[in-house]
Structure 1
């Protein structure tokens, strides 16, 4: 190592000496020619001397590092081609890199949150390795194989640190607005609404004259810079509506995953009470004056008014049996949940991607978006529930209770419940 250091020192001294000699030569020549009043022409001839150019290029090549590392944050509209061409990388290398990355990631989905890093030879422009972050938890790493001179790809898992956040507030206008004011992510707000959607109607059950509040503890995942990059599960949730308290705990035992009340009863039922979040109940099931015809007739569903484009979810697991135009219902979807229950969603502006006849859907998954197609006076969802083929009032329908934990599972659940209650108490009084 000492030998290499001495060599490099001597080499650098030689280079600097050569630079000094050339500088003195140029200065002397310039001064001499100035004295002869031929400064401009002689200096031009001297600087453009081909041998001098080669000498200078060789000198400055020694100062420039041969191996360069580039860290590039992707800008809007940039492509892999454009980025690598900026550094004079040839087309063959670019195509090989794109082919390798495309095996794991769609390059059309590059975004401004991504960073690309690569090392390359600044003289022959050959890339040694390249890294592209493709998600919060994964990177694609390409490394040139010295034997084959081809790139070998692998996925690098990014380690995230898990933590929890506690949020609480009094519900002033609506749960959604209050939660947003607390900077709770949309994903968590939607999940909160979903798990309470089996027993609570967020429009009708939350009365403004009551003392209403909520609490929630949910997982967060942080990167090496302690920035939140992902949100996880809701571990604990509580709704206080007047004098009624609704507490839910997450239980993660295989085969019994889900949220349970304080008595170990699952909140999961065959159907959710409402298949849309934040909507206003605009027309109930029963006799009414039809808004278009003006005649009194039975309204065999429930209408929820919401802005056009509001997501609509499947109220239960099932199979899509009909999807498309349905006359006065406009764009509609019909789902068969089991031998007893079916649901229908009408007046949609459009269907969710991949929704077609025969598609299996999960409870809470988006199936379409609010619209005003068919016989409609404004954007809303018309929702119907059929029990054994007969249309019923979805808002008063009594569904079978969910699973109740027993024996060993109940013991484990009680331990989980105590742990979450302790964490909640510590968060409230500010211990951590």
Structure 2
């Protein structure tokens, strides 16, 4: 069984560590967790996702727990379960959700965590807690720094280093003091020593995916930095990563925020629920850091330790360099041909309702890259556009399962488009 063979590595590692520190997690019986959750009663359900459901529970000693129960057993689900348990067993940090234990009996796969009474950041920004306005500016800054420190630990202090691959608001949980706990390591990847990235199947959440990861499957620490940038911008503005602006069109949060940041209109970016009660310098710092983290070029993004230093305002020199970065200079007027391409294909993420697919168009500077769902071939095609004169130059085809454009992609090689007017070397 996948889980048994994979998790033995953790057990062996734990035996070596046993003399150094006491284990803080254990194996639960199915009967114990059924009793704690009132047999996984619907009234105990905290949330539900593609993986299954999370339930509130109370153990015999009165301690509260959250139990993640896989919906359907399969080899794939068993692998994701094993990965999450292994990684949770490896890491220990105040801003990473702690593993209480797990249960693997028959086809039941359950992970037990400490219960977070303030649920997720997403629930406070967009969910049923949003009307309560419990996230004042000070709490938001603390959540930003705490989340950054948790991710930084994964990237630079865990052995081997870990890429989370699904950093988003619903995966940042909040304890009773609103301290951030980064959660959900089902998609995480261990990075071998010396490796700059791993090429893997694309998993994650639309709106948070770094372009090079979504397009090429190249996962690195920088991909998490990108996702964190989107999360940080979401935290400051109260907007979702993708905003529906009509029945068929969505706009990314960065496409909305970057022009305002270039014009230094930071007050227009602040979450209206803050009612103007924020530190203006801190708001500017958070906005600029978020946008440079979400830079389309991975080499331009900071590392997570740099992010923490910038968010804390510890280096005036580094922040001055960031403030004067060329990405925050007012954009030059574009040529007519460039405007027509950008307006038609690069500013928005469009949703084709009738075929239940996503038509994603995303500006990545020059060249422009479009990602288009071709329903006839059940493929996701990335098209490189080099404005102003050239049209479609190269195309890369992604084999995609029917349920999701950015689900599990198998990549083919680059193809020259026969309709292209110019054929440069890519």
TM-score class, shorter: under 0.3
Higher Rg: 1
Q: TM-score, normalised by structure 1?
A: 0.22
